[in-house]
C-alpha cells in the first residue's frame, strides 16, 4: 500500500513537471487522478513514446535534429533513446524495456523524473507551481474559510477594556529608550574587551606558519579511490563523446590496485613497528625506574631496621661466605 502511494505521488510530480515544462503532448489533458497519470506515464503507448522523445529532444539538440528520421523506425528510436540514457548515466543501452514502458512503474517514474531535471527551466517552474497549488489548497481549506471571509470583509473591532489596561501597564513598565541603549552599548564594550583579551591569549591564532598535517594510510586510500573513479569516468566520457574526434587508440587504464595495496601494507607495517618500538622504549624506562627505586629505597627488615636491596644482598653474601669458611675449616 505504501509503495502504491509513493508511485502516485511521484506520478503527480512528474506530470506537474511536464506541465511546467510546457510539454505540448500533455496540454489539454487536464488529468486530475493519479491512476490516469500512471496509465499515461507507465503503460506502453505511442503517446508515452512521443512524450519520452520530446524530453530527449529538449535535452539534446542533436537528438532533436534527427528525430524525424528515427520516427519512421520505432525500434531505432527506442535504441537511440536508450543510448542517450546511457550517455546521461541514467540507464544502460540494453534497458529497452524501460524505454518501451515494460519496466516497473516506480523505475519508469524515477527515470522520467531524472530526465526532466535536465530539461532547462523545468524543475524550477514545477516547484513554483507546486508551491502555488499548496498555498491555494491551504487557503481554501474548510477550517480556514471563516478567516478568509473576515479578510475579505474586514471590520474595526476595538480592543476590550482589560486588553487596553494591560497594554498601558506594560508600556509604563518599560525603561526609556535612551537608558536601554546605554545599557546595550556598555554591555557591548565589555564583551569587546573580553574578546580582545581572549584573542591575545590565543597565540596560535596569530601564527601564520602551521605544521603540515600528518600523513595517514587512510588518506592514501581515499586518494587512490578518487583516482580510480576519475579514471573510470574519463574512460566512459571518452567512449561516448571523445572517441569520434580522436585518431589515437583509447588509453588503457588498469583496474588493478595491487600497487596501492602493497604501499598500504608497507605503511601499515611501518606504523606497527614504530608503535612496538615506542612501547619497548616506554617499558624499558619503566623497568629502569623500578630497579632504581628498589636500589635506593629501604624495603627489607633486618634486626629492626629497614635496609635497601643492595645492602641486604651484601649482608646475605657475607653470611654465605662465613658459612662456607666454617665448613672448609
> Higher-confidence residue: 213 or 300?
300
Residue 136 has pLDDT above 70, yes or no: no
pLDDT in the model for residue 154: 60
Interval 168-197 mean pLDDT: 70
Q: How far apart are the first and last CA of the chain?
A: 108
Are 50 and 77 in contact by the 8 Å Cβ rule? The answer is no
Instruction: Return the bridge partners of 302, or none.
Output: 305
More confident residue, 210 or 80: 80
323 neighbors 308 (Cβ within 8 angstroms): no
Indicate the length of the chain as a whole number.
329
Distance between CA atoms of residues 74 and 45, nearest Å = 12
Torsions phi, psi of 286, nearest 5? -65, -40
- What is the pLDDT confidence band of residue 209, given thresholds at 50, 70 and 90? very low
- Give residue limits of the domains in the chain: 2-135, 266-296, 298-329
* Residue 265 grid coordinates: 601494507
pLDDT at 276 over 90: yes
The pLDDT confidence band at residue 319, using thresholds 50, 70 and 90, is confident
* Backbone CA torsion sign across 185, 189, 195, 196: positive
- Rounded distance between C-alpha atoms, residue 123 and residue 117, angstroms: 6
Q: Which whole number is the average pLDDT over 245-271?
A: 76
DSSP string covering 95-139:
-HHHHHT-S-HHHHHHHHHHHHTTSTTHHHHHHHHHHHHHHHHHH
Q: What does the mean pLDDT of the chain come to?
A: 77
Q: What percentage of residues in the chain have a pLDDT greater than 90?
A: 6
Query: pLDDT tens digits for 56-109?
Result: 888 887 777 666 666 667 788 888 889 888 888 888 889 999 988 899 999 999
pLDDT reported for residue 125: 46
pTM flag (> 0.85)? no
Model confidence at 39: pLDDT above 80:
yes
The band of 274, judged by pLDDT with boundaries at 50, 70 and 90, is very high
**Share of residues in the chain with pLDDT > 70 (%):** 71
pLDDT at 203 over 50: yes
Q: Which of the pair, 162 or 148, is modelled with greater confidence?
A: 148
295-320: buried (b, 16+ CB within 10 Å) or exposed (e) per residue?
eeeeeeeeeeeebebeebeeeeeeee
Return the closest-CA partner of residue 118 out of 57, 160, 208, 33. Answer: 57
Amino acid at each position: 500500500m505504501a509503495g502504491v502511494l509513493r508511485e502516485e505521488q511521484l506520478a503527480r510530480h512528474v506530470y506537474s513537471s511536464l506541465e511546467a515544462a510546457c510539454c505540448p503532448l500533455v496540454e489539454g489533458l487536464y488529468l486530475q487522478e493519479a491512476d490516469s497519470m500512471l496509465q499515461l506515464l507507465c503503460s506502453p503507448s505511442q503517446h508515452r513514446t512521443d512524450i519520452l522523445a520530446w524530453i530527449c529532444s529538449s535535452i539534446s539538440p542533436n537528438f532533436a535534429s534527427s528525430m524525424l528520421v528515427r520516427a519512421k523506425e520505432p525500434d531505432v528510436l527506442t535504441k537511440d533513446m536508450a543510448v542517450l540514457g546511457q550517455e546521461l548515466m541514467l540507464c544502460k543501452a540494453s534497458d529497452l524495456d524501460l524505454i518501451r514502458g515494460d519496466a516497473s512503474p516506480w523505475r519508469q517514474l524515477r527515470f522520467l523524473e531524472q530526465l526532466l531535471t535536465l530539461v532547462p527551466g523545468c524543475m524550477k517552474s514545477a516547484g513554483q507551481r507546486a508551491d502555488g497549488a499548496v498555498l491555494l489548497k491551504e487557503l481554501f481549506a474548510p477550517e480556514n474559510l471563516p478567516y478568509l471571509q473576515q479578510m475579505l470583509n474586514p471590520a474595526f473591532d476595538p480592543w476590550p477594556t482589560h486588553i487596553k489596561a494591560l497594554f498601558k501597564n506594560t508600556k509604563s513598565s518599560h525603561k526609556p529608550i535612551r537608558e536601554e541603549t546605554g545599557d546595550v552599548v556598555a554591555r557591548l564594550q565589555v564583551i569587546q574587551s573580553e574578546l580582545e583579551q581572549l584573542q591575545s591569549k590565543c597565540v596560535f591564532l596569530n601564527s601564520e606558519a602551521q605544521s603540515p598535517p600528518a600523513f595517514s594510510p587512510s588518506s592514501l586510500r581515499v586518494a587512490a579511490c578518487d583516482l580510480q573513479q576519475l579514471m573510470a569516468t574519463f574512460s566512459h566520457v571518452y567512449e561516448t563523446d571523445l572517441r569520434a574526434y580522436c585518431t589515437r587508440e583509447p588509453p588503457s587504464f588498469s583496474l588493478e590496485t595491487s600497487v596501492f595495496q602493497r604501499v598500504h601494507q608497507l605503511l601499515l607495517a611501518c606504523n606497527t613497528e614504530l608503535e612496538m618500538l615506542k612501547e619497548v622504549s616506554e617499558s624499558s624506562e619503566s623497568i629502569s625506574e623500578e630497579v632504581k627505586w628498589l636500589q635506593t629505597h629501604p624495603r627489607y627488615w633486618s634486626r629492626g631496621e629497614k635496609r635497601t636491596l643492595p645492602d641486604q644482598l651484601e649482608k646475605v653474601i657475607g653470611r654465605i661466605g662465613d658459612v662456607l669458611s666454617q665448613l672448609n675449616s
